[in-house]
Chain A
C-alpha cells in the first residue's frame, strides 16, 4: 500500500556536524511533503515543506531535497545543535488528503 517511511529509526551526530534524515515514499502521484519535528512531550512542529515543482528548498539551517525519480526526500540540518534532538517525521499532504506520517527518525545530538 501507499506509505511514507524512513530509512533509519535513529541517527546520532556530533554537535556542529550536519545531519541528513532520509524519507522514501511510494505514491508517484504525491506532490507535497512536509517535515515535522517532534520534541519529547510536544506535538509535531512544522519545519519546512516542498512541492513537486521544486527539487530543493532552504530554510534557516535546514534544506529539503526532493528526488521524484526515486521517490525520496531528505532533510539536511546544518551545524546540528542539542536543541535539534527530536523525532523527525516526513509527511505527505498531497491532494488535500489527510497527512500521512512516516515512522520518524530519532535524532540524538552528542555534545
Chain B
C-alpha cells in the first residue's frame, strides 16, 4: 500500500539554527499538509498546500515557517530560526482531494537544544 514517507525520523538542532523536514507524499495525491504534535498534546494543523501554493495556514505557521515542493515528489517544511518550543513531532500528510481522508507519515521528531 502506498505510504507517506518522512525523513529524518529524528532531528536534533541547536536553537537558532535552520531545519528542513522532508516528506514524500503518496504519488497521486494533490493536497499536502504539515501538522505538529507537542509531546502529550493534540495533533495541530500547520499548513496545507495545493497547486504549488499555500491554501491555508494556522496561527502557528508564522514567518519562521515555510513550505516548498521543490520537485514532483518532495514536500518540505523549513523552520528558519528554531526555538525551544518548536520541539515536537512533525507529521506530513497527503490526500487525493481536500475532502478526502488524509494519510500521514510516521513523523519527524524535532528536538531543539
A: residues with CB less than 8 A from B are 32, 34, 36, 41-46, 49, 89, 93, 96-104
B residues 9-41 in Cβ contact with A at 8 Å? 33, 35, 41
Q: Is the CB of B103 within 8 A of A89?
A: no
CA distance A99 to B100 in the complex (A): 11
CB-based nearest A residue for B103 = A46
Instruction: Count residues of B near A (Cβ-Cβ below 8 Å).
Output: 23
Question: Nearest 4 CB-CB pairs, A to B?
Answer: A43-B104, A98-B45, A96-B98, A101-B43
Residues on B with beta carbons closer than 8 Å to the beta carbon of A49: 101
Q: With A43-B91, A103-B42 in contact, do A96 and B102 touch (Cβ < 8 Å)?
A: no
Residues on B with beta carbons closer than 8 Å to the beta carbon of A96: 98-99
B48 adjacent to chain A (CB < 8 Å): yes
CA distance A36 to B101 in the complex (A): 10
CA distance A34 to B103 in the complex (A): 11
Q: With A89-B43, A98-B58, A103-B42 in contact, do A46 and B101 touch (Cβ < 8 Å)?
A: yes
